[in-house]
Amino acid sequence: MTQLAAPVVDTHCPYCALQCGMRLTGAQVEPREFPTNRGGLCQKGWTSGSLLTNPARLTSPLVRVNGELRPVSWELTLDYVAGRLAGLRAEHGPDSVAVFGGGGLTNEKSYLLGKFARVALGTSQIDYNGRFCMSSAAAAGMRAFGLDRGMPFPVEDLRKADAVLLVGANPAETMPPFMQHLTSTGLIVVDPRRTPTAEQATLHLKPRPGTDLALALGILHAVVADGHLRHDYIAERTTGFDAAWRIAAAWWPERVERVTGVAASDQRRAAALLAKARKAYILTARGTEQHARGTDMVGAWINLALALGLPGTPGSGYGCLTGQGNGQGGREHGQKADQLPGYRKIDDPAAREHVAGVWGVPPESLPGPGRSAYELLDALGNETGPRALLVFGSNMVVSAPSAGSVVDRLSSLDILVVADFVLSETASMADVVLPVTQWAEESGTMTNLEGRVLLRGKAIDAPDGVRSDLEVLHGLATRLGQPAERFPTDAETVFEELRRASAGGAADYSGVTYDRLRDGEALHWPVPSVDHPGTPRMFLDRFAHPDGRARFAAVDHTGPAEPADAEYPLLATTGRVLQHYQSGAQTRLVPELLDAVPEVFVEIHPDTADRAGLAEGAIARVVSRRGSTLARVRRVASMRTDTVFLPFHFAGEQRANLLTNPALDPTSRMPEFKVCAVRIEEA
């Protein structure tokens, strides 16, 4: 009998928000031409097909019996979970059950998960790991522009720039194909480390961790003092400059040098490179966002962009590099604690009425805002906190700050349910594990870092025993008394409802259809009608505030929540490496990637290492007020002597997030991942 050849399917990479175009033949990956990657892939993308046949794949529901996870049928498992959830809700109220989502879920999953939480469970307790990723940039963008879309222009526009200021980003490792767009001879990189990205820069600014805001104020001061301020743009298109300048006026570059360690001459050079460029961009990312003042830090860089007249100007602009694959779409359609689909606020009566109408429920039945991600995790098992948690697409045992305390909170739950396709560190703690489809086994849409809606195509069938997240939500919802048609299992059907729910919202997808995406149309939201071409470049005529003007933010430097002291004299910062992604639950299963970077390491200046008695390759213990981690020493001469760096992809005693500080930004509720006080010693 002749075996049919596997179909060739155009799709997108399962990892970061660049969403590189790729082609799948069965589980075989090859790159394809697409605007974001232009035919390139990184090492993670090239090896992503191996996940589809990995022996660690989960193929049966698991239920903990006498302390061990054992295979159980789907029907019995869903009956058990729904029964436990219904019992807890009846005894302790709907907020006794919580839901935690992920920035890698498709738009359809994100949408249905938010609907499931608020309609089937009636709980306000839902948030997602994107809170740890983009929330500060989103809050700053909303404050400045009235709307948050990470990059309000296509990534290809960067290729024509004369200068790009890249703040807190290392795309040479985190999204390598992006680097081909940074062809500018005026690349300025702000990073405490000399990363592979910084090595390609015209100018590398190395601030002390936690001092980015002071640096932004110093460069803004230089812009004004050296005559580069765009007075016409500020008068016509902005408001609030005077209040922002009153603060920046006190931060002359020499003062900033004492705080940040960045030479005053380099601050002035950065200002001149940007101001004299015909086309210039400022891009921010996690390094400047993941702070207890992250919203203000990003706001300070937006102030600089506004002072130079960049946002909304053809060929120039400000943008944020989204991290997770669907970091943009994941926060737009309802899995965030304070939002409903279409980027609507959950406490807005008109938004509640519109979405409730689409869902067929009374507006008053929808709960209000819930706890943010870390606050939700920290409340688990407490007297007034949730007693059950359902997790979709997240591995908080590795990725959450103060990870040791998060493990304690998860351990205190009455029931922990995790949907995943591998036994992640969080899944291994669960009472119930639900095996779900992964990227190539399903269709669905993603929204990449440009706000471009993409269609992932199904290339292969899932293994027997695996169900989609949509099927899981349907199965639980119907067991909790919901009508079957309210929770569809077909992705395109869910998307059709998402279109109606988002209509008229800030993130309006109502004009996006699967047919348009199949035909290859480039649809950047908002797309308010089926004959609308999409909005690749935003703010060209006006910003999204009622008066059409952008807002300067009056922000000042205060420093990290936890400064170094005699007991903890160093500052630790965390980040990613080329071979691994997020918590590493997937990439640590790929032999090629794990062989390249098999364990956590700590980068430290040789002089600092000598004082601690640490040789190259030694095992060190890095200790903070919250815990300690073991890491192999890498002596790196380009490191600051007051700073150490650890990647956060590893598990067990190698978790960098055992150290990190859960101090939260007052606006975005972002934890301070990027700086905490530590000491380092021989293990």
What are the tens digits of pLDDT across the range 561-609?
Answer: 999 999 999 999 999 999 999 999 999 999 999 999 999 999 999 999 9
Identify which of 360, 411, 353, 404 has the alpha carbon closest to the alpha carbon of residue 381: 411
**Predicted pLDDT of residue 342:** 96
- Report residue 498 as tokens: 């998402």
**Predicted pLDDT of residue 185:** 80
Q: 204 Cβ partners below 8 Å, 6+ apart?
A: 188, 189, 191, 194, 198
Q: Which of 321, 353, 371 is the last residue of a domain?
A: 321
Range of the domain at 399: 62-131+326-436+468-490
Indicate whether 33 and 77 sit together in one domain: no
Indicate whether 525 and 575 sit together in one domain: no
255 falls within a domain = yes
Q: Which of 321, 348, 375 is the last residue of a domain?
A: 321
Find tokens 């000491």 and name the residue.
679
332 falls within a domain = yes
Contact 473, 493 (CB under 8 A): no
- Return the SS3 of 311: coil
Strands 388-392 and 415-420: what pairing? parallel
Identify which of 387, 410, 414, 388 has the alpha carbon closest to the alpha carbon of residue 397: 410
Identify which of 164, 62, 119, 137 has the alpha carbon closest to the alpha carbon of residue 670: 137
Question: Exposure of 122 by Cβ count < 10 A (0-12 exposed, 13-18 middle, 19+ buried)?
Answer: middle
Report the CATH number that the domain containing residue 664 is assigned in CATH.
2.40.40.20
546 falls within a domain = no
**Predicted pLDDT of residue 5:** 66
Between CA 583 and CA 656 the distance in angstroms is 10
Indicate whether 530 and 619 sit together in one domain: no
Distance spanning both ends of the chain, measured CA to CA: 62
Indicate whether 149 and 252 sit together in one domain: yes
Pick out the chain residues at pLDDT < 50. Answer: 1-2
431 falls within a domain = yes
Contact 140, 298 (CB under 8 A): yes
- Return the SS3 of 29: strand
- Return the SS3 of 323: coil
228 falls within a domain = yes
Helix (H) or strand (E) holding 92: helix 74-92
Amino acid at 599: E
Identify which of 362, 342, 365 has the alpha carbon closest to the alpha carbon of residue 121: 365
Indicate whether 379 and 342 sit together in one domain: yes
Identify which of 59, 648, 100 has the alpha carbon closest to the alpha carbon of residue 394: 100
Q: 172 Cβ partners below 8 Å, 6+ apart?
A: 179, 195, 196, 197, 199, 200, 578
Strands 619-623 and 628-635: what pairing? antiparallel
Indicate whether 251 and 152 sit together in one domain: yes
Identify which of 447, 147, 458 has the alpha carbon closest to the alpha carbon of residue 324: 447
Preceding peptide of 563 cis, ω within 30°: no
246-267: b or e for each residue (b if 16 or more CB lie within 10 Å)? ebbeebbbeebbebbbbebebb
Indicate whether 144 and 103 sit together in one domain: no
Helix (H) or strand (E) holding 25: strand 21-25
278 falls within a domain = yes
455 falls within a domain = no
Between CA 287 and CA 364 the distance in angstroms is 40
Distances in whole angstroms, Cα of residue 308 to Cα of each of 154, 233, 238, 272: 20, 8, 12, 10
**Predicted pLDDT of residue 533:** 97
Between CA 491 and CA 677 the distance in angstroms is 46
Report the CATH number that the domain containing residue 251 is assigned in CATH.
3.40.228.10
545 falls within a domain = no
- Report residue 599 as tokens: 């364990």
Indicate whether 411 and 526 sit together in one domain: no
Distances in whole angstroms, Cα of residue 432 to Cα of each of 74, 379, 391, 640: 11, 21, 10, 45
Contact 662, 402 (CB under 8 A): yes
Other residues' Cβ atoms within 10 Å of the Cβ of residue 516: 17
Question: Exposure of 137 by Cβ count < 10 A (0-12 exposed, 13-18 middle, 19+ buried)?
Answer: buried
Q: How many domains does the chain have?
A: 5
Q: Which of 535, 556, 589 is the last residue of a domain?
A: 535
Question: Strand (E) positions, 67-195?
Answer: 68-71, 97-101, 126-128, 163-167, 186-190
Question: Exposure of 382 by Cβ count < 10 A (0-12 exposed, 13-18 middle, 19+ buried)?
Answer: exposed
DSSP 420: E
Indicate whether 379 and 486 sit together in one domain: yes
Amino acid at 172: A
The gap from C-alpha 151 to its chain's centroid, in whole angstroms, comes to 14
Contact 425, 585 (CB under 8 A): yes
Distances in whole angstroms, Cα of residue 22 to Cα of each of 29, 31, 111, 291: 7, 4, 25, 34
**Predicted pLDDT of residue 70:** 98
Indicate whether 273 and 235 sit together in one domain: yes
Report the CATH number that the domain containing residue 19 is assigned in CATH.
2.20.25.90
Find tokens 């709307």 and name the residue.
147
Indicate whether 298 and 215 sit together in one domain: yes
Identify which of 2, 110, 6 has the alpha carbon closest to the alpha carbon of residue 49: 6
**Predicted pLDDT of residue 183:** 84
Between CA 407 and CA 425 the distance in angstroms is 10
Indicate whether 483 and 594 sit together in one domain: no
Identify which of 150, 184, 159 has the alpha carbon closest to the alpha carbon of residue 35: 159
**Predicted pLDDT of residue 4:** 57
On the CB side of 657, how many CA atoms lie within 13 Å of its CA? 31
- Report residue 187 as tokens: 């690349």
